[in-house]
Amino acid sequence: MNSLQITVTQDGDRNREQELSRKGHGYTGAYTSLDIGEVEKSPAVRKNRPTIPVEDDNMQGSTTKLIVCFFGIFICYFYYGIVQEKITRSTYGDGERFTAFFCLVFVQCIINSIFAKGAIGITKPEPDKTYWRLYAVCAVTYLGAMVASNSALKYVSYPLQVLGKSCKPIPVMILGVLVAHKRYPLRKYFFVLFIVVGVALFMFKGDSSSKSTDSHAFGFGELLLILSLTLDGLTGAAQDKMRGEYKTSPYHMMFNINKWSVLFLLILCLVTGELFQFMEFLSRYPNTLPNILLFGLASAVGQSFIFTTVSSFGPLTCSIITTTRKFFTILGSVILFNNPLIYRQWIGVLFVFIGLGLDSMYGKNRKVEKR
């Protein structure tokens, strides 16, 4: 019995197909589904019609998934910060401190890679077709942003560094437009600006003392902060390209970026000699190893939520979550422990909630345009 499939949009071709099918020629025609405003009622057509993916930073993932990712990132990196403080600020033996920061990130990336590889084996996503150079570039920008931000602390005060990093969503948006050819509605820029200004007002604490009176040192620190923000934006643009052109799954993205990060960090640790210092430190204080492993595990679980957010909602949404994370942590301590806020911080709180509220109501773009 010959099947009848009608999807050709021209009336003459449709009639010809029906006629041939009735005469027993077994002709079914090439299957094409085009949206021309016509409702096709055939069950076969509805069943077999291909889905055309629409790139959208907000609508590819559900609100429930976004909430889960937000709290996953919040909880994992809250614990991550606690363990990091315990490792780096504790004294060992006769007042020795942990200083092998590159090796700490190196171990973290190894655990992230192992975790992501296991998740790939369990979830079995589609084969990854992302170009390897894109992963390598993303790993360089990711590590470069981290190194530049931490190095800036040698030349600028911590409040200024926090203020600079709170602007992260801005370069993510700008370089997403310039490099990944994203386009956002004008109102989206204003909503993100509200959030960034609110976080900056809330987090910044005036510091009368300066680390250095040398204007050149201060200028170099600012330059490092700008470099860090630029690299953050390039990381977001690369991730936008992955999800837009290659539909990269979150765990493939997580595994490959961390894999390249492990390679680059291994070279760095060997060249600086930090790897050997790290091994000697562990041999002297083996009780540090459990905390380092917990630090890496917290990072791995947190990154799984981060890359799920990037894959489902885009790097901009992820940068907003990570930027406001510390804001909500401090705000929670204010509510729980009655810590007072100054007038400027309350204005910052108002700006953040106005920006988040307006973005959730009006910032969703049903179709992100491509140039």
What are the pLDDT digits (tens) for 94-141?
A: 889 999 999 999 999 999 999 999 999 999 999 999 999 999 999 999
Say what the pLDDT of residue 61 is. Answer: 57
Say which amino acid occupies 75. Answer: I
- Asked whether 320 and 195 are in contact (CB, 8 A), the reply is yes
The Cα angle at residue 104 between residues 102 and 109, in degrees rounded to 5: 95
Q: What is the pLDDT of residue 206?
A: 59
| The pLDDT of residue 364 | 61
pLDDT at residue 338, rounded to an integer? 75
Identify the segments of the chain with pLDDT beneath 70: 1-61, 158, 205-218, 363-371
For residue 310, which of 176, 147, 114, 200 has the smallest C-alpha distance?
A: 176
Residue with tokens 């009608």: 6
Residue 51 CB-half CA count within 13 A: 4
Of the candidates 241, 237, 230, the residue with the CA atom closest to the CA atom of residue 176: 237
Whole-angstrom distance, CA of residue 297 vs CA of residue 303: 10
Can you give the pLDDT at residue 363? 65
pLDDT reported for residue 205: 65
The pTM of the full predicted model, rounded to 2 decimals, is 0.75
